[in-house]
Chain A
């Protein structure tokens, strides 16, 4: 399975979907009004990945901002791993950004997979 890499833009995050390492990374900001075009290939990649996943999967969410349209996609994306074994979400936030931390806690409650909360510089 091919890995996938996308550069960040003003309104979309840098994305790295690494099949070999079992690591999915989202870094930056996600503000697109229409999330379909940007996230469809990513969701497709994940659908394929969970058919034949790595022994261990880590999902790094290092977002500074995301809009409500993204918040829906994020729930959809993380929910895909509900029945996967050995999956962990590393949810990053800036130290003072209590809102981002709280968002992470909400997703942890909603998707019921293990989360680890970490600060970023």
Chain B
């Protein structure tokens, strides 16, 4: 039995290698693709924390990375809809030198795209002081509203910890759904303590 033969018989074997290569090239630390629920979120978070501990030890950078990971994962599980035609989401943490990135991708209703884009643009146009003001205003308002409105607050919190513009991209999947790709990057800071 030769190795080539396996590639014919088990078509997935090629994918294993290709995924492995792609992940190495993109310096992926951790990636999960599939359905998300609170148990899975917690498992992914546990794994993410172990990896971040190794890369960043106990530092402000690690705390920021972990905080961003929590908000990203909880945004996914807030938005994901098991009954939708596209129930799967993706979560990735990666590193390129001193730059870390935390990405997520999930399907959202077309009808929510415009609002989300507005929110993201608003956040990206603010400086740190503006973000602080927006955060204080949003948290005050959130008390008056019902549970549903965590997402705006989560995005503001991610932007503040990232210290960079939030990356995003929408792809239309069908007449009802769009795929929302999101990325927060941050630089590992030189620790003073």
Contacts and interface: CB of A to CB of B under 8 A. Distances in A.
A109 B136 contact: yes
Given A67-B74, A106-B135, A72 B191 contact: no
Interface stretch (A20-28, A40-48, A54-62, A90-98): A90-98
Interface in A81-121: 94-100, 102, 106, 109-110
Interface string B58-97: 1110011011001100100110000000000000000000
A75 B139 contact: yes
A17 to B, nearest CB: 22
A100 B160 CA distance: 12
Given A11-B42, A99-B63, A67 B143 contact: no
Contact of B63 (A10, A65, A75): A65
A76 B142 CA distance: 10
A117 B56 CA distance: 26
Q: Chain A interface mostly helix, strand, loop or mixed?
A: helix
Interface stretch (B10-18, B114-122, B150-158): B150-158
Interface residues of B, number: 34
Contact of A110 (B139, B147, B153): B139
A65 B78 contact: no
B132 interface: yes
A99 B60 CA distance: 8
A102 B59 CA distance: 16
Given A76-B143, A99-B64, A110-B139, A69 B161 contact: no
A69 B60 CA distance: 21
A76 B157 CA distance: 18
Given A67-B74, A96-B192, A72 B139 contact: yes
Nearest to A64: B63
B2 interface: no
22 contacts: A33-B77, A64-B63, A65-B67, A67-B67, A67-B70, A67-B74, A68-B150, A68-B153, A71-B139, A71-B153, A72-B142, A72-B143, A72-B150, A72-B153, A75-B139, A75-B140, A99-B63, A99-B64, A100-B63, A106-B132, A110-B139, A110-B140
The 10 closest A-B pairs by CB, nearest first: A68-B153, A96-B193, A68-B154, A96-B60, A72-B142, A67-B70, A33-B74, A68-B157, A68-B150, A31-B70
